Amino acid sequence: MSTPCDAIKVGIVSVSDRASAGIYEDKGLPALKDWLTRALRNPVTFEERLIPDEQAGISATLIELVDAGCCLVLTTGGTGPALRDVTPEATRAVAHKEMPGFGEQMRQISLKFVPTAILSRQIAVIRDQSLILNLPGQPKAIAETLEGLRNEAGESVMPGIFAAVPYCIDLIGGPYLETDPLVCKAFRPKHAIRAV
């Protein structure tokens, strides 16, 4: 017997001094929303935030989104080595556990395109029953790191990080996330797969 997909709440945060000040249009939030809308089969409510590169403000926003019931919070921007890039520090400050594999895989994917991927400091952490992921700042890189890389035949040649997200959320007691395998096939051990 199948059960319907859980309704979920997802926090998406774009960290940018200039975009939050209206100097230029933010492209991070639309990119996150577009990809997640295509990838997830669950009914999703998005909590969107566009904020400046201020460590205390980023940390406060992450706590607010987790407390509001977001099982997943994705940030974009502020993960480089520049003086104003403090998203990883703000994320680490609210963490109960770190999940280093996510950042390692994001850098591996980005290294296929640019040698400066080693300058990226994306991390992932767990706070309560929520997974928080720091993603790259460019829309193309957001999609690549989430979805992974495919060859010309459309076959996966390097998995993206999102393949591991649903099972991670299962393990921390969150809702059951169901993905569209044409966008991103979630991996779960057989015993963890639920008919939906």
Distance (Å, whole) CA 132 – CA 130: 6
Q: In which element (H, E) is residue 192 found? A: none
Only one residue has tokens 């706590």, namely 63
pLDDT by residue (tens digit) across 116-155?
A: 999 999 999 999 999 999 999 999 999 999 999 989 888 8
Listed by start position, the domains of the chain span: 8-192
Can you give the pLDDT at residue 2? 54
Per CATH, the homologous superfamily of domain 8-192 is MoaB/Mog-like domain (3.40.980.10)
- At residue 1, the pLDDT reads 46
Buried b (16+ CB within 10 A) or exposed e, 51-66: bebbbebbbebbbebb
pLDDT at 3: 64
| Cβ burial 111-131 (10 Å sphere, 16+ → b, else e) | eeeeeebeebbbbbbbbebbb
What would the mean pLDDT of 86-108 be, rounded to a whole number? 98
Report whether 122 contacts 107 (CB < 8 A): yes
Strand ranges for 6-155 from DSSP E: 8-15, 44-51, 72-76, 97-98, 124-127, 130-135, 148-150
> Is 15 in contact with 75 (CB distance < 8 Å)?
yes
Q: CB of 192 within 8 A of CB of 158?
A: no
| Mean of pLDDT values over 152-174 | 94
pTM of the model: 0.95
Query: 196 pLDDT exceeds 80?
Result: no
How would residue 195 be classed by pLDDT, with cut points 50, 70 and 90? Answer: confident
Say how far apart CA 42 and CA 174 lie, in whole Å: 13
Pairwise CA distance, residues 149 & 124, whole Å: 20
Summarised one tens digit per residue, pLDDT across range 5-16 is 899 999 999 999
Per-residue pLDDT of 33-91, as tens digits, reads 999 999 999 999 999 999 999 999 999 999 999 999 999 999 999 999 999 999 999 99
Q: What pLDDT score was predicted for residue 4?
A: 75
